[in-house]
Structure 1
Amino acid sequence: MTKVTQHLWFEKDMEAAIAFYTSLIPGSSVSWTSTIPADTPSGPPGSVKISAFTVGDQRYMATEAGPLDPFNHSFSIMVECEDQAEVDRLWDALKEGGSVEQCGWLRDRWGLCWQIAPKRLGELMSDPDREKARRVTDAMLKMVKLDVAALEAAARGE
C-alpha cells in the first residue's frame, strides 16, 4: 500500500521541535534521526539532519538544513481534542515562545502553524440545524483559543 508522509523543513532545532511535539501528543514517537552522509546544497556531509517521527496517528519526516521557506498557513497541524482540558494543555504548551491567532490557530516557537480544536466544534458545526451551526461558527470566529462551553452556549442560542 502507498504511504503518505508529511515533510517539515526546519532551519534549526529540528530535534528539539520533534522531541517537544512527540512529548505532547499521546502515541507519538521518534522512529529515527540521522545525518545525510554526502555533500548537499545545504552543506557538507553530516551537516543536514533528517528524522522520521509520528505525532498521534500521523507520519512525518523532517529535515534540518538551514533557511529555505518559512512555515506558513498553507500547512498546519490540526489536533482534535477530546475536551477543554486537552485544548488548554496543548494551547498553553504550543504557544510558549510562539504566537496565538484567531479561531484556535497558533504558531509554535519554530513557526509551525497549529489548529487546536475541540472535537465538539466539528460536531456542532456539522449539525443538521444550520442555524445552530451558524451560531457556533460565528462564536468560533470571535475566539482566539477555542472554548467548548462558549461554543455549546452559542449552539443553544445563548
Structure 2
Amino acid sequence: MATKHKLSPNFWFDNQAEEAANFYVSIFKDSKITKTTYYGNVGNDIHGQKAGSVMTVEYEIEGQRFVNLNGGPVFRFNESISFIVDCETQEEIDYYWEKLGDGGDPKAQQCGWLKDKFGVSWQVVPVMLEEMGSNPDDPGYLRAFGAMMQMKKMDIAALEKAYRGE
C-alpha cells in the first residue's frame, strides 16, 4: 500500500494541472508523477469540466507529495504562499532560478523570490543564510541582510563578502 502523506500542497489551476506537474517534475531531479485522475459525467453541473479531461495530477518532489487540480478559473495564485528551495551551491541557485523562472514574471523577483509561468511563487535561497543567523545585534548578519535586500537572485559570494564586512 502506498504511503499516505498527512499534508500535501494542492495547486488549483484553471486547466494547466498536467502541464505544471510535468514542468515541476522536469526541474527537480528526485521527482515523479504518481497518479492522474479524470473527470467523469458525475457532478458536471457543479464542476463544469468535460468528461475525460484531467482532474488531478499527483506527483512527488524530494519525497513530498503535491496535487494539481484543474478546477477552473475561480482562484489565482498570489505571493502569500511560496515554496522555498534550499540550495547548497551557487550552481544550484542558478539552476533553479533559471528553470523555475523560465516564462515567469520578471517583475516578481526580489530577495530570492520568483514567480513561475503558472503564477506560483518560489524562493530560491542558499542554506548558508541559516548559518549566518538572524541576530539583529550581529553586524555581519545586518550587512548580509542588507545585501540580500538589494538582490533579485541570491549571490552566495556577495552575501559572504557582506557578512565578513568586505
Does the pair score TM above 0.5? Answer: yes
Equivalenced residues, count:
158
Contact 1:47 1:65 in 2 (8 A): no
Aligned to 2:102: 96
One-letter amino acid matched to 2:31 = S
Alpha-carbon RMSD across the aligned residues, in angstroms, is 2.0
One-letter amino acid matched to 1:65 = G
User: In structure 2, what is the Cα distance between the partners aligned to 1:30 and 1:20?
Assistant: 11
For the pair 1:13 / 2:19, whether they are aligned, the reply is no
Q: How far did 1:128 drift?
A: 9.5
The C-alpha deviation readout for 1:12-50, integer Å capped at 9, x for no partner, is 221111111112112111111111322242314334511
Q: How far did 1:112 drift?
A: 0.6
One-letter amino acid matched to 1:42 = H
Aligned to 1:39: 43
One-letter amino acid matched to 2:121 = C
For the pair 1:24 / 2:24, whether they are aligned, the reply is no
For the pair 1:134 / 2:133, whether they are aligned, the reply is no
User: In structure 1, what is the Cα distance between the partners aligned to 2:5 and 2:88?
Assistant: 30
Aligned to 2:65: 59
Aligned to 2:84: 78
One-letter amino acid matched to 1:137 = F
Unaligned runs of 5+ in 1: none
Aligned to 1:145: 153
One-letter amino acid matched to 1:39 = G
Percentage identity across paired residues of the two chains: 39
Contact 2:36 2:54 in 1 (8 A): no
Aligned to 1:50: 56
User: In structure 1, what is the Cα distance between the partners aligned to 2:84 and 2:5?
Assistant: 23
